[in-house]
Amino acid sequence: MPYLVDCLASVEAQTIAPDRLEVIAVDDGSTDGTGEYLEEFADQSHLRVTVIRQENSGGPSGPRNVGLGLATGRYVFFLDADDRLGAEALERLVAMADKAGTDVVLGRVEGVNRNAPQSMWRRTVERADVFSSNIKFTLSAQKLFRRSLLERHGMRFDESLYTGEDALFTMEVYLRADGVSVVADYTCYYLVGRSDGKHVTQSGHYTQRFDSARALTRLIAELVPEGEKREKLMVRPFRVTLLPQFGPRYLEDSEEVRRHKCELAGPLLDAYWTEGLARRLKVHERLRLHLVAARRPDLLLDVVEFVAAEKEPPVRLEKRGTRVYFAYPHFRKRRARVPDVVYLAEPPEARGVPGYREEEAGAKAAARAKPSVKPKPSLLRRVVRKSRKWRRSRRPETVGGRTS
Give the catalytic positions in this structure: 166
Amino acid (1-letter code) at residue 291: L
Residue 364's Cβ-side half-sphere holds a number of Cα atoms within 13 Å equal to 10
First to last CA, the chain: 112
H helix and E strand count, the chain: 16, 12
Amino acid (1-letter code) at residue 52: I
CA distance 144 to 246: 34
Query: For residue 339, is the peptide bond before it cis, meaning its omega torsion is within 30 degrees of 0?
Result: no
C-alpha separations of 236 from 175, 191, 217, 395 in Å: 14, 21, 9, 72
Burial profile 308-322: b = 16 or more Cβ within 10 angstroms, e = fewer: eeeeebebbbeeebb
CA distance 239 to 137: 10
Pick from 238, 104, 133, 215: nearest CA to 168: 215
